[in-house]
Amino acid sequence: MKIFETENDIKNNCLHAQGLNLVPTMGNLHEGHLSLIEESKNYDGKTIVSIFINPLQFGPNEDFRNYPRTIISDIKKLEKIDCDYAFIPQDDFAKKLNLIKAPSISKKLCGKNRPGHFDGVLTIINKIFSVILPTHAFFGLKDYQQFILIREFTKNYFPGIKIIGLPIIREKDGLAMSSRNNLLTKDERKIAPNIYENLIWIKNNRKKFTISELVKISSEKLERHNIQIDYLGVFDKENLKKVKNFEEGALVAVAAKIGKVRLIDNIVLNNKN
Protein backbone atom coordinates (compact mmCIF):
# COMPACT_ATOMS: atom_id res chain seq x y z
CA MET A 1 0.00 0.00 0.00
CA LYS A 2 1.31 3.41 -0.90
CA ILE A 3 1.00 6.14 1.72
CA PHE A 4 0.68 9.81 0.80
CA GLU A 5 1.18 12.58 3.31
CA THR A 6 0.67 15.77 1.40
CA GLU A 7 -1.70 17.28 -1.07
CA ASN A 8 1.15 17.67 -3.55
CA ASP A 9 2.04 13.98 -3.22
CA ILE A 10 -1.45 13.09 -4.39
CA LYS A 11 -1.56 15.70 -7.13
CA ASN A 12 1.92 14.98 -8.52
CA ASN A 13 1.06 11.31 -8.85
CA CYS A 14 -2.14 12.14 -10.73
CA LEU A 15 -3.89 9.48 -8.70
CA HIS A 16 -7.38 10.54 -9.67
CA ALA A 17 -6.72 9.57 -13.30
CA GLN A 18 -7.09 5.91 -12.22
CA GLY A 19 -10.53 6.49 -10.70
CA LEU A 20 -10.48 6.63 -6.91
CA ASN A 21 -12.91 5.14 -4.43
CA LEU A 22 -12.48 7.07 -1.23
CA VAL A 23 -13.19 5.98 2.33
CA PRO A 24 -12.70 9.06 4.57
CA THR A 25 -11.95 8.15 8.21
CA MET A 26 -10.51 9.53 11.41
CA GLY A 27 -8.55 6.30 11.93
CA ASN A 28 -8.90 3.81 14.78
CA LEU A 29 -10.21 1.52 12.10
CA HIS A 30 -12.73 -1.17 13.00
CA GLU A 31 -14.84 -3.62 11.04
CA GLY A 32 -17.28 -0.88 10.12
CA HIS A 33 -14.53 0.95 8.23
CA LEU A 34 -13.19 -2.28 6.78
CA SER A 35 -16.63 -3.14 5.40
CA LEU A 36 -16.67 0.23 3.57
CA ILE A 37 -13.27 -0.56 2.09
CA GLU A 38 -14.35 -4.06 1.03
CA GLU A 39 -17.44 -2.59 -0.65
CA SER A 40 -15.35 0.05 -2.44
CA LYS A 41 -13.39 -2.72 -4.13
CA ASN A 42 -16.51 -3.68 -6.08
CA TYR A 43 -16.23 -0.41 -7.99
CA ASP A 44 -13.85 0.31 -10.87
CA GLY A 45 -10.60 2.03 -9.89
CA LYS A 46 -8.43 2.01 -6.78
CA THR A 47 -9.33 2.40 -3.12
CA ILE A 48 -7.87 5.23 -1.08
CA VAL A 49 -8.50 5.63 2.66
CA SER A 50 -7.92 8.98 4.29
CA ILE A 51 -7.01 9.12 7.97
CA PHE A 52 -7.25 12.50 9.62
CA ILE A 53 -8.62 13.40 13.04
CA ASN A 54 -10.32 16.61 12.10
CA PRO A 55 -10.06 19.18 14.93
CA LEU A 56 -12.70 21.38 13.26
CA GLN A 57 -15.51 18.96 14.06
CA PHE A 58 -14.85 18.77 17.81
CA GLY A 59 -16.37 21.31 20.20
CA PRO A 60 -14.31 22.88 23.01
CA ASN A 61 -15.57 20.32 25.56
CA GLU A 62 -15.39 17.32 23.29
CA ASP A 63 -12.94 14.47 23.07
CA PHE A 64 -10.47 15.65 20.40
CA ARG A 65 -7.47 15.11 22.65
CA ASN A 66 -8.69 11.71 23.81
CA TYR A 67 -9.80 10.54 20.40
CA PRO A 68 -8.05 7.18 19.89
CA ARG A 69 -4.89 7.52 17.77
CA THR A 70 -3.79 4.13 16.46
CA ILE A 71 -2.01 4.91 13.21
CA ILE A 72 0.45 1.97 13.21
CA SER A 73 -2.26 -0.65 13.68
CA ASP A 74 -4.52 1.22 11.23
CA ILE A 75 -1.85 0.93 8.53
CA LYS A 76 -1.39 -2.78 9.30
CA LYS A 77 -5.13 -3.36 8.93
CA LEU A 78 -5.19 -1.52 5.61
CA GLU A 79 -2.25 -3.53 4.31
CA LYS A 80 -3.88 -6.76 5.39
CA ILE A 81 -6.97 -6.09 3.34
CA ASP A 82 -4.96 -4.93 0.32
CA CYS A 83 -6.02 -1.32 0.32
CA ASP A 84 -4.28 0.48 -2.56
CA TYR A 85 -3.53 3.86 -1.01
CA ALA A 86 -3.73 5.75 2.26
CA PHE A 87 -3.74 9.53 2.60
CA ILE A 88 -2.51 10.55 6.05
CA PRO A 89 -1.91 14.30 6.17
CA GLN A 90 -0.27 16.22 9.02
CA ASP A 91 -2.18 18.36 11.52
CA ASP A 92 -1.78 21.52 9.43
CA PHE A 93 -4.10 20.02 6.83
CA ALA A 94 -7.02 21.65 8.66
CA LYS A 95 -5.39 25.08 8.88
CA LYS A 96 -6.48 28.07 6.84
CA LEU A 97 -9.54 26.41 5.37
CA ASN A 98 -12.62 28.41 4.40
CA LEU A 99 -15.27 27.33 6.84
CA ILE A 100 -18.30 25.77 5.12
CA LYS A 101 -21.60 26.66 6.76
CA ALA A 102 -23.75 23.54 6.90
CA PRO A 103 -27.45 24.00 5.94
CA SER A 104 -30.22 24.20 8.54
CA ILE A 105 -30.75 20.44 8.76
CA SER A 106 -27.41 20.41 10.59
CA LYS A 107 -29.08 22.11 13.56
CA LYS A 108 -31.30 19.09 14.25
CA LEU A 109 -30.43 15.88 16.13
CA CYS A 110 -26.66 15.82 16.77
CA GLY A 111 -26.31 19.46 15.73
CA LYS A 112 -28.44 20.66 18.67
CA ASN A 113 -25.81 19.87 21.25
CA ARG A 114 -22.80 20.01 18.96
CA PRO A 115 -22.91 23.51 17.44
CA GLY A 116 -20.50 23.85 14.52
CA HIS A 117 -19.83 20.11 14.33
CA PHE A 118 -21.24 19.67 10.83
CA ASP A 119 -19.59 22.89 9.61
CA GLY A 120 -16.33 21.21 10.59
CA VAL A 121 -17.25 17.95 8.88
CA LEU A 122 -18.24 19.64 5.60
CA THR A 123 -15.17 21.89 5.69
CA ILE A 124 -12.81 18.93 5.88
CA ILE A 125 -14.80 16.84 3.41
CA ASN A 126 -14.66 19.75 0.96
CA LYS A 127 -10.88 19.81 1.37
CA ILE A 128 -10.42 16.02 1.14
CA PHE A 129 -12.67 15.78 -1.93
CA SER A 130 -10.85 18.60 -3.71
CA VAL A 131 -7.46 16.98 -3.06
CA ILE A 132 -8.45 13.41 -3.96
CA LEU A 133 -11.16 13.98 -6.58
CA PRO A 134 -12.68 10.53 -6.11
CA THR A 135 -15.39 9.00 -8.29
CA HIS A 136 -17.13 7.47 -5.25
CA ALA A 137 -16.99 8.10 -1.51
CA PHE A 138 -18.23 5.62 1.10
CA PHE A 139 -19.78 6.42 4.47
CA GLY A 140 -21.36 4.35 7.23
CA LEU A 141 -25.01 5.03 8.01
CA LYS A 142 -24.34 5.11 11.75
CA ASP A 143 -23.58 8.79 11.23
CA TYR A 144 -26.90 9.17 9.46
CA GLN A 145 -27.18 12.97 9.67
CA GLN A 146 -23.59 13.32 8.48
CA PHE A 147 -24.42 11.07 5.54
CA ILE A 148 -27.43 13.20 4.50
CA LEU A 149 -25.45 16.44 4.82
CA ILE A 150 -22.46 15.13 2.86
CA ARG A 151 -24.73 13.66 0.18
CA GLU A 152 -26.54 16.98 -0.33
CA PHE A 153 -23.32 19.01 -0.19
CA THR A 154 -21.73 16.72 -2.77
CA LYS A 155 -24.74 16.97 -5.12
CA ASN A 156 -24.27 20.75 -5.14
CA TYR A 157 -20.50 21.15 -5.16
CA PHE A 158 -19.01 17.88 -6.46
CA PRO A 159 -21.66 16.48 -8.80
CA GLY A 160 -19.11 14.04 -10.26
CA ILE A 161 -18.73 12.18 -6.94
CA LYS A 162 -21.23 9.48 -5.97
CA ILE A 163 -21.90 9.14 -2.23
CA ILE A 164 -22.56 5.60 -1.07
CA GLY A 165 -24.04 4.92 2.39
CA LEU A 166 -23.60 1.46 3.88
CA PRO A 167 -25.32 -0.33 6.77
CA ILE A 168 -24.15 -0.13 10.35
CA ILE A 169 -21.82 -2.94 11.41
CA ARG A 170 -22.51 -4.20 14.93
CA GLU A 171 -20.73 -6.11 17.65
CA LYS A 172 -22.23 -9.52 18.50
CA ASP A 173 -24.29 -7.94 21.28
CA GLY A 174 -25.74 -5.32 18.91
CA LEU A 175 -23.62 -2.31 19.87
CA ALA A 176 -22.90 -0.25 16.75
CA MET A 177 -19.18 -0.29 15.96
CA SER A 178 -17.53 3.02 16.71
CA SER A 179 -14.06 4.25 17.57
CA ARG A 180 -15.61 5.77 20.69
CA ASN A 181 -16.48 2.29 22.04
CA ASN A 182 -12.79 2.00 22.95
CA LEU A 183 -13.23 4.85 25.42
CA LEU A 184 -15.86 2.98 27.46
CA THR A 185 -14.85 1.38 30.75
CA LYS A 186 -15.62 -2.32 31.20
CA ASP A 187 -18.80 -1.57 33.13
CA GLU A 188 -19.92 1.07 30.64
CA ARG A 189 -19.29 -1.33 27.76
CA LYS A 190 -21.62 -3.84 29.45
CA ILE A 191 -24.57 -1.45 29.47
CA ALA A 192 -23.91 0.04 26.01
CA PRO A 193 -25.91 -2.61 24.06
CA ASN A 194 -29.08 -1.26 25.73
CA ILE A 195 -28.99 1.57 23.21
CA TYR A 196 -29.59 -0.72 20.23
CA GLU A 197 -31.93 -2.97 22.23
CA ASN A 198 -34.16 0.05 22.80
CA LEU A 199 -34.24 0.92 19.11
CA ILE A 200 -35.34 -2.62 18.37
CA TRP A 201 -37.88 -2.45 21.19
CA ILE A 202 -39.38 0.69 19.61
CA LYS A 203 -39.53 -1.05 16.24
CA ASN A 204 -41.19 -4.16 17.68
CA ASN A 205 -43.74 -2.20 19.68
CA ARG A 206 -44.64 0.40 17.11
CA LYS A 207 -48.15 -0.97 16.64
CA LYS A 208 -48.88 -1.06 20.40
CA PHE A 209 -48.01 2.49 21.47
CA THR A 210 -47.91 6.02 20.10
CA ILE A 211 -44.53 7.45 19.19
CA SER A 212 -44.47 9.69 22.24
CA GLU A 213 -45.28 6.74 24.52
CA LEU A 214 -42.56 4.66 22.92
CA VAL A 215 -40.02 7.43 23.34
CA LYS A 216 -41.03 8.02 26.95
CA ILE A 217 -40.90 4.35 27.94
CA SER A 218 -37.59 3.64 26.25
CA SER A 219 -36.03 6.87 27.57
CA GLU A 220 -36.95 5.75 31.07
CA LYS A 221 -35.45 2.33 30.43
CA LEU A 222 -32.18 3.85 29.24
CA GLU A 223 -32.03 6.28 32.12
CA ARG A 224 -32.47 3.40 34.57
CA HIS A 225 -29.17 2.07 33.18
CA ASN A 226 -27.51 5.45 33.76
CA ILE A 227 -27.52 6.22 30.07
CA GLN A 228 -28.10 9.94 29.58
CA ILE A 229 -30.13 10.73 26.50
CA ASP A 230 -29.24 13.60 24.23
CA TYR A 231 -32.06 12.82 21.81
CA LEU A 232 -34.24 9.81 21.05
CA GLY A 233 -37.03 9.95 18.53
CA VAL A 234 -38.61 9.02 15.25
CA PHE A 235 -37.77 11.25 12.30
CA ASP A 236 -38.39 11.67 8.61
CA LYS A 237 -35.38 10.05 7.02
CA GLU A 238 -34.80 12.86 4.52
CA ASN A 239 -35.53 16.13 6.36
CA LEU A 240 -34.97 14.77 9.90
CA LYS A 241 -38.14 16.41 11.17
CA LYS A 242 -39.98 14.57 13.95
CA VAL A 243 -42.84 12.45 12.59
CA LYS A 244 -46.12 11.85 14.40
CA ASN A 245 -46.89 8.45 12.88
CA PHE A 246 -44.65 5.66 11.78
CA GLU A 247 -44.29 5.94 8.08
CA GLU A 248 -42.40 3.99 5.47
CA GLY A 249 -38.71 4.77 5.90
CA ALA A 250 -38.96 6.46 9.32
CA LEU A 251 -35.63 6.89 11.07
CA VAL A 252 -35.46 5.89 14.74
CA ALA A 253 -32.37 7.63 16.06
CA VAL A 254 -30.66 8.10 19.38
CA ALA A 255 -27.64 9.86 20.86
CA ALA A 256 -26.74 9.17 24.46
CA LYS A 257 -23.90 9.48 26.88
CA ILE A 258 -22.52 6.66 28.95
CA GLY A 259 -20.14 8.28 31.41
CA LYS A 260 -18.19 10.72 29.27
CA VAL A 261 -18.65 8.83 26.01
CA ARG A 262 -21.28 9.98 23.54
CA LEU A 263 -22.68 7.22 21.33
CA ILE A 264 -25.15 7.37 18.45
CA ASP A 265 -27.22 4.72 16.73
CA ASN A 266 -30.23 4.41 14.46
CA ILE A 267 -32.45 2.09 12.50
CA VAL A 268 -34.47 2.87 9.40
CA LEU A 269 -37.86 1.17 9.34
CA ASN A 270 -39.33 -0.28 6.20
CA ASN A 271 -42.29 -2.50 5.42
CA LYS A 272 -40.16 -5.59 5.62
CA ASN A 273 -38.59 -5.10 9.05
Would you name the residues annotated as active-site residues? 33
Q: Using CA atoms, how far apart are residues 56 and 3, in angstroms rounded to an integer?
A: 24
Q: Confirm or reject binding of residue 25 to ligand PAF (CB under 6 A).
A: yes
Q: How many CB atoms lie within 10 A of CB 32?
A: 20
Q: Which of 9, 19, 26, 191 binds ligand PAF (CB under 6 A)?
A: 26
Q: Which stretch binds ligand PAF (CB under 6 A): 21-29, 91-99, 165-173, 212-220?
A: 21-29
Q: Confirm or reject binding of residue 119 to ligand PAF (CB under 6 A).
A: no
Residue 155, C-beta contacts closer than 8 angstroms, at least 6 positions apart: none
58: DSSP letter:
S
- Stretch 42-71: interaction string toward ligand PAF, x if CB under 6 A: ------------x--x--------------
Maximum separation of any 2 CA atoms in the chain, in Å: 61
Q: Which stretch binds ligand PAF (CB under 6 A): 121-129, 202-210, 222-230, 250-258?
A: 121-129
CB 260 within 8 A of CB 183: yes
Identity of the residue numbered 51? I
Q: Which stretch binds ligand PAF (CB under 6 A): 72-80, 98-106, 120-128, 151-159?
A: 120-128
Q: Using CA atoms, how far apart are residues 154 and 148, in angstroms rounded to an integer?
A: 10
Please report, as ranges, the residues that interact with ligand PAF according to CB under 6 A.
24-26, 54, 57, 121, 124-125, 143, 146
